Structure 1
Amino acid sequence: MDVEKKVIVQDEEIEDDEEEDEVVEGSAAAEGGDAAAKKKNKKKNKKKKKKAATTAAGPGTKLPPFRGVTGFTDSYIQYGQTEPPTIPVAKLFAVGSFPKGEEQNHPGDFNTYRITSEELRAAERENEAFYDRVRYASEVHRQVRKFAQGLIKPGIRLIDLCEALENKNRELVEEAGFARGIGFPTGCSLNHVAAHYTPNAGDHTVYVVEDMECSHYAKAFDAPHVPLRLPRAKKLLSHIQRTFGTLPFCRRWLEREDGGSSFINPKGAKQEKYIMGLKNLVDNGIVTAYPPLCDIKGSYTSQYEHTLILRPTCKEVLSRGDDY
């Protein structure tokens, strides 16, 4: 019986090993006939499948632009998410099964007891429901973060980027007012601006003006009771309390058709001619303005953050992903 030689160009060592195996199989086929031939074909097919698994691109593989590296597979594809993500994260996981973050031991030899302490492990089990909720939020954050990496490129307007990310966040978390939603406006770090900058409505530029126009606001938690004389200020304050509470917001959200939340304002609550009313609330200490945090003009700065939990037995970095 003729011995067929199989050639694999990718790895010469594997080629030599396969050739030796096939020579042995060929001699066995001469002695054993059809049984050995079937064994040979089965082994060859198995090797072909193994090779295909290492080279074939999966459904989540894509080439990232401007990276200079090979393709990568988005982490959320393994959970059944689409590309780009469109399925709400809560529908991808059962309650209590959201992915854990990176677990790290508490530093110091004096903390080693935390790993084996039955009392601390019991305390951790009692808080498992809370841990699952923050892991839910972290998974939404990771998927939106991956979505952003496919959008950010030279020439994009910051206002388009921010609105796309915030709408994707609302979609994946299934926005529901104070129960679920956006905790903070999208912050842009452009050149020397480190944080607390987001484009206002009508801002189509890609730079921050010299006078540091404010874009982030939040109702003061301990705001004083001040009689407001402007009707527009009273109306705006009522909208802020109903829609945002003490959570930060931006002027761009006030000008949305839903006023910042389609769940709370399903019939629409777009704010118009509110600038003087907002200034009056800031001047009276009811609303706090957060101007952009800037470095020296002409420099380049960036900001990286992680969210973590100090659990009784370890530290868990919730927002850790395969990108950073």
Structure 2
Amino acid sequence: MDIDKILEAGRIAKEAREYAQKLCKSITDGLELAIKVEEFIKKRAKLAFPVNVSIHNVAAHFSPIEPIEMYGVVKIDLGANVDGYLSDTAFSCDLDGNYEELVEASKKALENASKIMRYGVTLSEIGKTIEETIKSYGFNPIKNLTGHSIEYNQLHGGLYIPNYDNGDKTIIKEGLYAIEPFATMGKGYVRNGPPSNIYILVKPKRVRDIRARKVLQYIIENYGWLPFAKRWLIEEFGPIDRELYYLLKEGIIYSYPQLIEEKPVSQFEHTFLVLKDKTIITTL
């Protein structure tokens, strides 16, 4: 574990988040925002994943491929990649001025969870803190969305951090983690929606189709096991639907669906480096 590179990835994501927060107040096109934030990160590191611009009741997993007007509560989720060491951070924008309390609920939940995030704390303790904070504002945590461990060159590790008290007594050990409370005016469950324009490599294998083979090789060489955006491939290859369909049909890549709640959703997220003697919020 290279702590210096972990901290650098966190610092770059923090700066990108602050840049995105300024953009949220000055532009309305989600595609323009995503591209500008990605370019900001790429000048300093690689991308950990496509910038997500999840609008209103879309809780997560949407990266535009064409202009789209942002409205309501917008969640911007982003991360940096420094030689395989990753960061993951997010914030919410209240564009209409009607969702201040909803935004504050997830922000405060993250703040309170940050205070107890340490070596030896249980997952249920973290979830309980998040749940109690969000409910104190009159909202619900989204129970089927979680935080997660982060591994080398792998955004989602094998451990998931709940946003409610699920009774899990698994303890936090040394490592890298993302905590991301989601607060909603709805019941607190997301369903799968349309494609998000975000994909990930799951099972590389031999490909007969020549053009699909070239696309797969490009994915492996440039993104490895990290998520990538459809528009990145369009920039490289032009129209890409046929090749993506082929790779999906063969089970080589996975298409993330948009995750949708019935009511507006807010989100905040930080990356935490947990050591036995201290915890560092790398994206703060």
Give the TM-score band, short-chain normalised: 0.5 to 0.7
CA distance in 2, matches of 1:143, 1:184: 16
**Matching residue of 2:241:** 275
Is 1:194–2:59 an aligned residue pair? yes
SS in 1 for 2:42: helix
**Structure 1 segments unaligned to the other structure (5+ residues):** 1-126, 176-180, 257-269
**Matching residue of 1:204:** 67
Aligned length: 164
Q: Please say if residues 232 and 274 of structure 1, whose CA atoms lie closer than 8 Å, have aligned partners that are also in contact.
A: no
**Matching residue of 2:32:** 160
- Structure with the larger helix share: 1
CA distance in 1, matches of 2:70, 2:21: 20
CA distance in 2, matches of 1:143, 1:207: 22
User: For 1:212-246, what per-residue CA distance to the aligned partner results, in whole angstroms no more than 9, with x for missing partners?
Assistant: 133110111xx163x53422211211111121112
CA distance in 1, matches of 2:195, 2:69: 13
Residue 25 of structure 2 aligns with an amino acid whose one-letter code is K
CA distance in 2, matches of 1:224, 1:237: 8
**Matching residue of 1:250:** 229
Q: Please say if residues 192 and 295 of structure 1, whose CA atoms lie closer than 8 Å, have aligned partners that are also in contact.
A: yes
**Matching residue of 2:218:** 239
SS in 2 for 1:189: strand
Residue 165 of structure 1 aligns with an amino acid whose one-letter code is V
CA distance in 2, matches of 1:144, 1:207: 19
TM-score, L = length of structure 2: 0.54
What is the alpha-carbon root mean square deviation over aligned residues? 2.2
CA distance in 1, matches of 2:237, 2:223: 14
**Matching residue of 2:252:** 286
CA distance in 2, matches of 1:250, 1:313: 38
User: For 1:135-181, what per-residue CA distance to the aligned partner results, in whole angstroms no more than 9, with x for missing partners?
Assistant: 1111111111111121113752111000000001111x2x4xxxxx0
**Structure 2 segments unaligned to the other structure (5+ residues):** 72-191
**Matching residue of 2:42:** 170
Q: Please say if residues 188 and 198 of structure 1, whose CA atoms lie closer than 8 Å, have aligned partners that are also in contact.
A: yes
- Structure with the larger strand share: 2
Is 1:217–2:196 an aligned residue pair? no
User: For 1:16-42, what per-residue CA distance to the aligned partner results, in whole angstroms no more than 9, with x for missing partners?
Assistant: xxxxxxxxxxxxxxxxxxxxxxxxxxx
Residue 216 of structure 1 aligns with an amino acid whose one-letter code is I
Q: Please say if residues 189 and 302 of structure 1, whose CA atoms lie closer than 8 Å, have aligned partners that are also in contact.
A: no
Is 1:138–2:39 an aligned residue pair? no
Q: Please say if residues 193 and 259 of structure 2, whose CA atoms lie closer than 8 Å, have aligned partners that are also in contact.
A: no
Q: CA deviation at 1:207?
A: 6.7
Q: CA deviation at 1:284?
A: 1.0
CA distance in 1, matches of 2:210, 2:70: 34
SS in 1 for 2:254: strand
CA distance in 1, matches of 2:222, 2:204: 20
Paired-residue identity, %: 27
TM-score, L = length of structure 1: 0.47
Query: Greater relative contact order: 1 or 2 (C-alpha under 8 angstroms, separation 6 or more)?
Result: 2
- Structure showing greater radius of gyration is 1
Q: Please say if residues 216 and 248 of structure 1, whose CA atoms lie closer than 8 Å, have aligned partners that are also in contact.
A: yes
Q: CA deviation at 1:247?
A: 1.3
**Matching residue of 2:282:** 318
